[in-house]
Structure 1
Amino acid sequence: MNSGFTQATKGLIPTLATNFGIQVCCWGVAAALQTEKPWDKHSVTLDTRHPRQLLASATTAAWAIYLGSFLFERTLRHGDKRFNKVKRKPGLFLVYWLVQGAWVALTALPVYLTNVIPAESHPSLDLQDFLGLALWAGGFIFEVVANYQKRQWRQQVGPDYKRSFISHGLWSISRHPNYFGECVLWAGSYLLSSSSFSSAVQDPAVISRWWTRLALFSPLFVTFLITRVSGIPLLEKENDRRLKDVVAYWKYKKETSMFVPRPVMRS
């Protein structure tokens, strides 16, 4: 009997269920131990039947491995202040894990979709795919280099980091180059993954248009979240408080782009 679901919907249901299942399981352990130090939270559907699926999955896996290990190490060393007030409240702690699951699901949705679309519905790789791959690579490298530079700076300044700030390397052209790289790589991931959407939607049994429209929110959602909600606003507020008496910081903040890299002439 026909369930009324498209092939894409049928393929996404177990992926998204697994994604949220992981979040709930991690919440259970974290709530019991009253800690926010999880192991892995990323769920990616891999399907190598078409080169586009392989590329989309491989880039997402590379991102997940890098960022997961980076955040895991940082959390072990410093914890995460965002969880200090909620990790002893299991119900509220669960909300944090579910929101995290929603973030992962929506962010990686274009990759999930391109993997559940049958190989025969994929067009050959074209210019859009290579542009997306180049954009992803540029953003990924930008993020990795920015994080490396900040880690080296923090090791050099030691305990004095609370009265200091990084302003060299990529941090001289953007106050948050790591976040800029993160947003760019997801825009590239969308370009790469979405090459298969236009042909797949021609068959309503394969995928519905509303799935592909929702996928467009992936890079928009990441950018909005980082620039308006939980990324840059929180760090800017913390830095302003921590460095309120440091004249050089306010000069740096005035001269340096908050997000999009832009070389400036220092006075």
Structure 2
Amino acid sequence: MDSTYFFPSTRVLLPTLLADFSIQLAGWSLAALMQTEKFYDLAGSASFLMCTYFSLFNPWAEDTTSLGRSFHPRQILASGTTVVWACYLGFFLCKRAIRHGDRRFDKVKKMPGKFLGYWIIQGVWVALTALPVCLTNSIPAEDHPAIGAQDILGLVVWGMGFAFEVVANYQKQRWRKDIGKNYKQSFISHGLWSLSRHPNYFGECVLWFGSYLLSSSAFSVAVEDQILPHWMSRLALFSPIFVTCLITRVSGIPLLERENDRRLKDVVAYWKYKKETSMFVPIWPRSVE
């Protein structure tokens, strides 16, 4: 049949996506009832973990031997890196939400209909971001090509991005703890933050490009063998681009830049830092007279 549902990869992917949005709906139901945003980031991380698990182990398969099946090293690496990132970021964001809350939800968490929109958007974010990993997991291990240079490069790029994100977050945590009550009139400008105003976001975007490189090595073979539809392999390339556009144009950097401009509008040193320091890509600071 022509329907892409009958491609082996799509028979794995569709139930995986169903699990993703089921988690979002369950999280929204509980959060809307309690009028809290504290479950939001936890649900996002849980969705990444469940999508990775379902796409790798395929527990709904007709045969009951999926838990004992063999995996290609590429699948183990792609899934393992995703699990590490999801656990780290989920813990980090959940801890921050419990301590400080999230101003994005101050109004909408009391309006169930609008609040649901945020959860649906998170489901779309998870689906598109995790797509390359889920696709490579949906390809049978015996149809994967051997590990090659692209896989190694992808793993290195992922490692660099993850390290950048972790170090940047740690430096900001330490700064905020040290600065204490002066936080509202101060800003971090040392370490990685001297090279970029948002080094944590830069690291996250880089690691997803690495994840795509690692995951996509098997796509061309899978398309030729009619395991994976061609359009879906192309859609997977959109994953790291989507993450980067979302962070730099929509929900990440623009919101923080506006908040910092408002909070530090009377701090001369901040405006000097902003002029001298790259917004996103780490660059050695340039002097501005």
1:152 counterpart residue number: 174
Q: What is the 5 A alignment of 1:36-185? A: 36-38=37-39, 39-41=42-44, 42=47, 43-46=50-53, 47=56, 49-185=71-207
- Aligned-pair identity (%): 66
Aligned: 1:33 with 2:40: no
- 2:22 is aligned to 21
2-side partners of 1:23 and 1:209: how far apart? 29
Paired amino acid for 1:79: G
Alignment-derived partner of residue 219 in structure 1 = 240
For 1:96 and 1:44, the matched residues in 2 are separated by 19
The Cα shift of 1:120 comes to 1.4
Contact 2:195 2:283 in 1 (8 A): yes
TM-score normalised by length of structure 2? 0.89
Structure 1 residue ranges without an equivalent (≥5):
none
Matched, 1:234 2:233: no
Q: Say which of 178, 186, 189 aligns to 2:208.
A: 186
- After TM superposition, the score normalised by the length of structure 1 is 0.97
Name the CA distance, whole Å, in 1 between partners of 2:2 and 2:237. 28
Amino acid at match of 1:173: L
1:250 matched to 2:271? The reply is yes
> By how many angstroms is 1:134 displaced?
0.2
Question: For 2:82 and 2:277, how far apart are their aligned partners in 1?
Answer: 30
Partner of 1:108, secondary structure, is helix
SS at 2:108's partner residue?
coil
> Which residue identity lines up with residue 126 of structure 1 in the other structure?
G
1:92 to partner: Cα distance: 1.0
Change (3 A) 1:2 1:209: closer
Matched, 1:209 2:210: no
1:264 CA drift (Å): 2.1
Q: Does the residue aligned with 2:224 lie in a helix, a strand or coil?
A: coil
User: Runs of 4 or more off by more than 3 Å in structure 1?
Assistant: 1-4
User: Aligned partners of 2:210 and 2:2: how far apart in 1?
Assistant: 36
User: Distance between the aligned counterparts of 1:158 and 1:173, measured in 2?
Assistant: 23
The residue number in structure 1 matching 2:6 is 5
Q: Quote the Cα distance in structure 2 between the aligned partners of 1:2 and 1:182.
A: 37
Q: Which letter maps to 1:264?
A: P
The answer to whether the 8 Å contact 2:277/2:286 transfers is no
Letter in 2 for 1:222: V
Given residue 101 of structure 1, which amino acid in structure 2 is its aligned partner?
Answer: G
Amino acid at match of 1:96: Y
Q: For residues 135-178 of structure 1, what are the alpha-carbon distances to aligned partners after superposition, in whole Å with 9 as ceiling and x for unaligned? A: 00000000000000000000001111100000000000000000
Separation in structure 2 between the aligned mates of residue 45 and residue 245 of structure 1, nearest angstrom: 46
- 2:11, 2:260 → 1: CA distance? 46
1:160-203 CA-partner distances (Å, limit 9, x unpaired): 11000000000000000000000000000000000010111002
Q: Check whether the contact 1:44–1:57 (CA below 8 A) recurs between aligned residues.
A: no
Higher helix share: 2
- Name the CA distance, whole Å, in 1 between partners of 2:287 and 2:189: 11
**Paired residue type of 1:200:** A
Distance 2:2 2:194 in 1: 58
Letter in 2 for 1:151: Q
